[in-house]
């Protein structure tokens, strides 16, 4: 019989179970679930996620948490940012590496997350066309069928890049495809061009040429990816978040060293994408800049710009405020504990003027 | 003429005729590939498919993917049948329940099953739970409707007899309703098995990758390995055929009393 | 005396039949559960029991539908999807009807084609998608091929069965009366086969619509299924639910439309006793 006492007792018990070690210092979760908004060729569990990829392949987090009995689960999503958002909405992840637009979409719909550090600054974007195509520049894309991975951060970059050439998405026929399908379609002359960050298979690479690549001179055009955590997890396990960020900063440091570049490319190569392509995309970047985890003026304003642009391009319906989103605490503590406060350069809002 | 002479002859002839078309297609394909009319790396060939078949059969990864799909299918279809059966029975027995719920169910049936994928992936997640839920939904609907029809088809005199004998609810269920509705129930289960397998493959396409024949076949497509694609297609088709045969034979076996009763 | 009254069973209670006095009230009864569900939905989403992220409120869905209509996106998507559907369906029955007739009429054709046809039909449509994607790419041809195949199987099978099931007696009767081709068609062939063929056509349409939705989810740049996939990408649940409703309604209308034609034809032509 459901007496009032029994009801209150069971509700109290349920609420106790539902509040896992709220803020108990030193509390350690049984598992860490990390989502990566990218998958390798054929769905391989590897990515280009900068410091996060390094952490994954070198098993750094597993080593860090081995003693406490915390297991680390890595999930790679071929559906990119949107798929990670679904997982976050279902409380299936504690941390995620995503592009800024997907993070903004999630936040605009109510996903409670915190930005921890930047992981993949100024991601290069390229435009691929068939080798025998007559398209030679962005302006030639007018009226052509072009592939874009809509809903992901690439879409935002595409809109910005097109704007530099005075074009909009509506000036051409946009087709929504994931990157591998897109590059295959270009190779088979089914569509005219494709925007890609990766996505060239060994076969298609030979059949395509890159007519545009966003360079380090145009940082505002490039997608930014970062590492986030859920507010619930941060509230429950603040120490764990600090530890994860510290390991990540260490990995970022490793990735920033010039002599580690070949090893870094090897890590990226595990995705199955052609090594030549990886080299062509990342050789242009200064590893120190690309792997910097700092929320400097550029990164922070880039995030705000992305939020504004997402709203402008109709990708989100409510404005997103990015100021309270950043949680610099764990990052600052990690930098201090590793003595790396001044290791990475800090840039002004335009991404080019070095501030320190 | 003697029967012994015509039988093996006609059987052979029938078999030969049946094989004629596939043989012609396969030969044309192989010839086109061998003479480089089409690019073998892109278009494969029967020989390459054969190679891929033997390679996959001996590859433990293939079997683990295959069993992952089958497991998912079993889980989803099982849940679907377990939920659909009582629902169908309740609907069949009670006009009130029918009147209340049939409009909603009809509306649900009108929505193509794959339209549920985006919603389920947000509500339940795009991992295993989402896939199994989707498969369960796909399997439950035919069970509900077929069971309903099955209960409807019970001859009223049996139900009247049960009432006359003042049989309790449970006894009526066990002795009259279930056996009487069995044809409909089995038909529903048969359909559930088929739709469940379809839903499994579709789920593996549309939800996030998690091992399975469906993910395999899409991955093979990404890599342009048409030979692997064909191998996976054969595997998928075979499972469908086996499920169909198994369900059909079970139906015939369990319903054999019906034939006897009618004759 | 008292013993006799105990032996006699009580009046057998008849099961309660909830007979409603008028048909109009039964419509009301049918509306109870949907209205109740709507109410629960509104309550749950308004109170925020389930995050708005996951469950939009009914009003938001209506608003999303409104936006879809006023922006013209809904109409253009429906147009594109229906165009694809009818074209693919047309190809499917264009191949399926003659094929079914052929297999029913010619034993040689049946022995030649039927085994391969059934083997191909056995492989689920979804399993064909990657194969067809490699062959046709991701353009319109792929979608039409898949929709055509979805319609082909039930149409062919039902047509073959329908023609094979024409009662021998009717055919002989026609021959006996030396009926002309036209009369034989009108008096024998059509009444005997049209209803079962229409079952096949109806099934084919339903499966073609379902196939259209799947293929648009997987590889399209416009159309209802594509918009559904986009709403998933952009996490716009209200648009997603609105689109689901539209897709369901269209499927329902298509099915009912064919059922209506089927009904009229059966009334007109009778059908096999």
Interface of C with B in 22-61 (CB under 8 A): 26, 29-34, 37, 54-55
Residues from chain C that touch B19, judged by Cβ atoms under 8 A, are 115
Residues from chain C that touch A85, judged by Cβ atoms under 8 A, are 235
Residues from chain C that touch B223, judged by Cβ atoms under 8 A, are none
Tell whether B47 is covered by a domain.
no
| Residue C23: predicted pLDDT | 65
- Report CB contact under 8 Å: B209, A39: yes
Q: How confident is the model at residue A8 (pLDDT cuts 50, 70, 90)?
A: very low
Q: What is the pLDDT of residues C56-113, one digit of tens each?
A: 888 889 999 999 999 888 999 999 999 999 999 999 999 999 898 888 888 888 888 8
CA-based nearest distance B60→chain A, Å: 17
B38 in A contact zone (CB under 8 Å):
no
Q: Tally the residues of chain C.
A: 273
Find where tokens 């504990």 sit: A337
Nearest CA in chain C to B243: C122
| Residue C136: predicted pLDDT | 83
Query: C: neighbours with 3+ CB pairs under 8 Å?
Result: A, B
Q: Cα angle at A264 between A262 and A268, to 5 degrees?
A: 115
| Residue A57: predicted pLDDT | 92
CA-based nearest distance A259→chain B, Å: 33
CA-based nearest distance B257→chain C, Å: 27
| Residue C151: predicted pLDDT | 93
Residues from chain B that touch C123, judged by Cβ atoms under 8 A, are 233-234, 236-237, 240
Q: Which of B119, B218, B221 sits opposite C240 (nearest CB)?
A: B119
| Residue C18: predicted pLDDT | 52
Residues 6+ apart with CB under 8 A from A264: A54, A255, A282, A287
Q: Which of B124, B208, B220 sits opposite A77 (nearest CB)?
A: B208
Name the average pLDDT for chain A.
Answer: 84
Q: How do the domains of chain A map onto residue ranges?
A: 23-122+223-338, 126-213
| A120: exposed, middle or buried (Cβ count in 10 Å: 0-12, 13-18, 19+) | buried
Nearest CA in chain A to C238: A109
Q: Does domain A23-122+223-338 have CATH number 3.40.190.10?
A: yes
C17 in B contact zone (CB under 8 Å):
yes
Six-digit token string for A304: 């705000």
Tell whether B53 is covered by a domain.
no
| Residue C4: predicted pLDDT | 44
- Report CB contact under 8 Å: C138, A89: no
Q: How confident is the model at residue A17 (pLDDT cuts 50, 70, 90)?
A: very low
Asked if C54 and A89 touch (Cβ cutoff 8 Å), the reply is: yes
B127 in A contact zone (CB under 8 Å):
yes
| DSSP bridge pairs for A71 | A31
The proportion of chain A whose per-residue pLDDT surpasses 90, expressed as a percent, equals 30
In our burial notation (b when 16+ CB lie closer than 10 A, e otherwise), range A293-316 reads bbbbbbbbbbbbbbbebbbebebb
- Report CB contact under 8 Å: B208, A78: yes
CA-based nearest distance B114→chain C, Å: 6
Going across the sheet that includes A95-99, the strands are A71-76, A31-36, A95-99, A225-230, A113-118
Residues from chain A that touch B126, judged by Cβ atoms under 8 A, are 77, 79, 83, 86-87
Mutate to test the interface with B, among C127, C147, C237, C238 (most CBs of B within 10 A): C127
Question: How many residue contacts between A and B have a Cβ separation below 8 Å?
Answer: 44
Q: Which of B20, B99, B111 sits opposite C112 (nearest CB)?
A: B20
Q: Which of C14, C30, C111 sits opposite B14 (nearest CB)?
A: C111
Question: How many residue contacts between B and C have a Cβ separation below 8 Å?
Answer: 144
| DSSP bridge pairs for A96 | A35, A228
Asked if B114 and B200 touch (Cβ cutoff 8 Å), the reply is: no
Tell whether B237 is covered by a domain.
yes
Residues from chain C that touch A317, judged by Cβ atoms under 8 A, are 236
Find where tokens 């792929």 sit: C142
CA A27 to chain centre: 28
In our burial notation (b when 16+ CB lie closer than 10 A, e otherwise), range C223-238 reads bbbbbbbbbbbbbbbb
Asked if C147 and C84 touch (Cβ cutoff 8 Å), the reply is: yes
Query: A: neighbours with 3+ CB pairs under 8 Å?
Result: B, C
- Report CB contact under 8 Å: B21, C229: no
- Report CB contact under 8 Å: C53, A110: yes
Cα C199 from Cα C181, distance rounded (Å): 25
| Residue A258: predicted pLDDT | 87
CATH of the domain at B171: 1.10.3720.10
Q: Among B143-147, B158-162, C46-50, C267-271, which is the least confidently predicted range?
A: C267-271
Domain count, chain B: 1
Tell whether B189 is covered by a domain.
yes
Q: Which of A41, A83, A203 sits opposite B126 (nearest CB)?
A: A83
Residue B122, pLDDT above cutoff 50: yes
Residue A26, pLDDT above cutoff 70: no
- Report CB contact under 8 Å: A190, C137: yes
Residues from chain A that touch C52, judged by Cβ atoms under 8 A, are 109-110
Asked if A74 and A39 touch (Cβ cutoff 8 Å), the reply is: no
- Report CB contact under 8 Å: B114, C54: no
Which residue intervals of C47-72 are DSSP H helices?
Answer: 58-70
Residues from chain A that touch C136, judged by Cβ atoms under 8 A, are none
The more confident residue out of A19 and C69 is C69
Name the average pLDDT for chain B.
Answer: 86
| Residue C273: predicted pLDDT | 42
Cα B172 from Cα B155, distance rounded (Å): 14
Find where tokens 């076996």 sit: B253
- Report CB contact under 8 Å: A316, C234: yes
Q: In which residue ranges of chain C is pLDDT below 50? A: 1-6, 8, 272-273
| Residue A1: predicted pLDDT | 47
| Residue A14: predicted pLDDT | 46
| Residue A103: predicted pLDDT | 93
CA-based nearest distance B256→chain C, Å: 25
A153 in C contact zone (CB under 8 Å):
no
Tell whether B123 is covered by a domain.
yes
Residues from chain C that touch B110, judged by Cβ atoms under 8 A, are 248-249, 251-252, 255
- Report CB contact under 8 Å: B119, C241: yes
Q: What is the pLDDT of residues A238-277, one digit of tens each?
A: 999 999 999 999 999 999 988 899 999 999 989 888 888 8
B224 in A contact zone (CB under 8 Å):
yes
Mutate to test the interface with C, among A77, A109, A155, A311 (most CBs of C within 10 A): A109
Cα C111 from Cα B11, distance rounded (Å): 11
Q: Which of C138, C233, C237 sits opposite A151 (nearest CB)?
A: C233
| DSSP bridge pairs for A225 | A99
- Report CB contact under 8 Å: C230, A151: yes
SS3 for A317? Answer: coil
Class of domain A126-213: alpha beta
- Which domains does chain C possess? 61-269 (1.10.3720.10)
Six-digit token string for B17: 């005729």
Cα B210 from Cα B204, distance rounded (Å): 8
- Report CB contact under 8 Å: B100, C115: no
Q: How confident is the model at residue A2 (pLDDT cuts 50, 70, 90)?
A: very low
Domain that holds residue B146: 59-262
CA-based nearest distance C176→chain B, Å: 32
Q: Tell me how far apart the 2 most distant CA atoms of chain C are, in Å.
A: 90
| Residue A182: predicted pLDDT | 84
Asked if C151 and C89 touch (Cβ cutoff 8 Å), the reply is: yes
CA-based nearest distance A90→chain C, Å: 9
Using CA atoms, how far residue A56 sits from A103, A243, A326, B191, C257, in Å, is 21, 15, 23, 44, 56
| Residue A337: predicted pLDDT | 92
Are domains A23-122+223-338 and A126-213 of this chain identical in fold?
yes
Tell whether B33 is covered by a domain.
no
| DSSP bridge pairs for A196 | A126
E strands, A2-83, are 31-36, 71-76
Cα C244 from Cα C229, distance rounded (Å): 11
B158-162, B174-178, C141-145, C180-184 — most confident range: C141-145
| Residue A23: predicted pLDDT | 45
What DSSP assignment string belongs to A21-44?
TTT-TT---SEEEEEES---GGG-
CA-based nearest distance C206→chain B, Å: 9
- Report CB contact under 8 Å: C128, B164: no
Nearest CA in chain A to B216: A42
């Amino acid at each position: 019989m459901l007496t009032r006492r029994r009801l209150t007792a069971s509700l109290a018990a349920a609420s106790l179970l539902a509040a896992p070690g709220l803020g108990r210092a030193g509390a350690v979760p049984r598992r860490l679930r990390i989502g990566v908004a990218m998958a390798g060729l054929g769905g391989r569990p590897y990515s280009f996620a900068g410091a996060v990829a390094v952490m994954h392949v070198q098993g750094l987090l597993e080593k860090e948490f081995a003693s406490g009995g915390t297991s680390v689960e890595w999930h790679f999503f071929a559906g990119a940012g949107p798929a990670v958002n679904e997982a976050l909405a279902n409380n299936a992840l504690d941390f995620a590496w995503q592009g800024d637009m997907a993070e903004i979409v999630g936040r605009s719909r109510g996903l409670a997350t915190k930005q921890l550090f930047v992981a993949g600054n100024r991601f290069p974007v390229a435009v691929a066309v068939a080798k025998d195509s007559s398209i030679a520049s962005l302006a030639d894309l007018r009226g052509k069928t072009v592939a874009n991975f809509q809903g992901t951060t690439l879409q935002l970059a595409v809109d910005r890049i097109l704007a530099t050439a005075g074009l909009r998405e509506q000036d051409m026929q946009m087709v929504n495809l994931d990157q591998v399908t897109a590059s295959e379609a270009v190779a088979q002359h089914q569509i005219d061009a494709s925007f890609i960050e990766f996505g060239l298979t060994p076969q298609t690479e030979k059949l395509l040429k890159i007519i545009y690549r966003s360079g380090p001179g145009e940082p505002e055009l490039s997608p930014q990816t970062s590492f986030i955590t859920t507010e619930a997890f941060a509230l429950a396990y603040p120490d764990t978040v600090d530890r994860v960020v510290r390991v990540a900063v260490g990995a970022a440091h490793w990735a920033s060293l010039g002599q580690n570049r070949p090893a870094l490319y090897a890590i990226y190569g595990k995705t199955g994408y052609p090594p030549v392509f990886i080299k062509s995309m990342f050789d242009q970047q200064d590893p120190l800049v690309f792997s910097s985890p700092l929320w400097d003026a550029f990164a922070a304003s880039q995030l705000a710009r992305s939020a504004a642009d997402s709203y402008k391009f109709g990708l989100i319906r409510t404005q997103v405020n990015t100021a309270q989103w950043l949680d610099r605490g764990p990052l600052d503590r990690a930098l201090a504990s590793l003595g790396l406060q001044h290791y990475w350069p800090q840039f002004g809002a335009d991404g080019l003027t070095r501030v320190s | 003429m003697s029967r012994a002479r015509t039988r093996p002859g006609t059987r052979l002839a029938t078999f030969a005729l049946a094989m004629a078309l596939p043989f012609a297609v396969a030969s044309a394909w192989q010839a086109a590939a061998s003479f480089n009319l089409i690019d073998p790396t892109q278009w494969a060939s029967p020989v390459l498919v054969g190679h891929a078949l033997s390679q996959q059969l001996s590859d433990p990864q293939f079997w683990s993917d295959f069993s992952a799909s089958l497991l998912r299918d079993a889980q989803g279809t099982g849940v679907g049948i377990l939920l659909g059966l009582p629902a169908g029975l309740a609907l069949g027995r009670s006009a009130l329940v029918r009147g209340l719920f049939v409009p909603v169910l009809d509306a649900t049936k009108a929505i193509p099953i794959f339209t549920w994928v985006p919603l389920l992936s947000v509500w339940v997640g795009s991992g295993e739970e989402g896939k199994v839920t989707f498969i369960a939904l796909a399997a439950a609907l035919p069970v509900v409707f077929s069971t309903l029809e099955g209960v409807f088809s019970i001859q009223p005199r049996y139900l009247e007899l049960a009432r006359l004998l003042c049989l309790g609810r449970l006894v009526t269920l066990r002795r009259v309703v279930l056996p009487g509705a069995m044809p409909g129930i089995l038909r529903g289960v048969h359909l559930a098995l088929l739709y469940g397998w379809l839903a499994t493959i579709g789920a593996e396409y549309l939800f996030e990758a998690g091992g399975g024949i469906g993910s395999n076949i899409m991955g093979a497509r990404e890599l342009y390995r048409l030979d692997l694609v064909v191998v996976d297609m054969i595997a998928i088709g075979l499972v469908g055929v086996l499920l169909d045969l198994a369900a059909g034979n079970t139906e015939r076996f369990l319903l054999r009393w019906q034939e006897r009763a009618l004759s | 005396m008292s013993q006799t009254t105990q032996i006699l069973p009580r009046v057998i209670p008849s099961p309660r039949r909830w007979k409603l006095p008028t048909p109009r009230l039964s419509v009301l009864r049918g509306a109870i559960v949907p209205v109740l569900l709507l109410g629960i939905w509104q309550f749950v989403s308004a109170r925020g029991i389930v995050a708005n992220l996951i469950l939009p409120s009914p009003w938001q869905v209506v608003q999303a539908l409104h936006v879809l209509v006023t922006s013209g996106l809904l109409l253009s998507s429906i147009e594109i999807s229906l165009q694809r559907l009818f074209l693919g369906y047309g190809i499917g029955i264009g191949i399926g009807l003659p094929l079914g007739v052929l297999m029913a009429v010619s034993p040689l054709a049946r022995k030649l084609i039927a085994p391969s046809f059934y083997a191909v039909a056995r492989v689920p449509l979804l399993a064909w998608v990657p194969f067809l994607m490699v062959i046709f790419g991701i353009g319109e041809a792929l979608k039409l091929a898949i929709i055509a195949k979805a319609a082909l199987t039930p149409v062919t099978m039902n047509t073959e069965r329908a023609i094979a099931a024409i009662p021998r007696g009717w055919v002989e009767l026609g021959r006996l009366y030396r009926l002309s081709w036209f009369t034989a068609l009108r008096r024998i062939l059509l009444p005997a086969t049209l209803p079962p063929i229409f079952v096949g056509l109806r099934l084919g349409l339903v499966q073609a619509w379902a196939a259209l939705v799947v293929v648009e989810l997987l590889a399209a740049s416009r159309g209802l299924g594509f918009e559904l996939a986009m709403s998933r990408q952009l996490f716009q649940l209200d648009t997603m639910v609105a689109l689901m409703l539209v897709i369901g309604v269209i499927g329902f209308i298509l099915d009912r439309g064919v059922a209506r034609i089927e009904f009229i034809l059966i009334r007109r032509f009778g059908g096999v006793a």
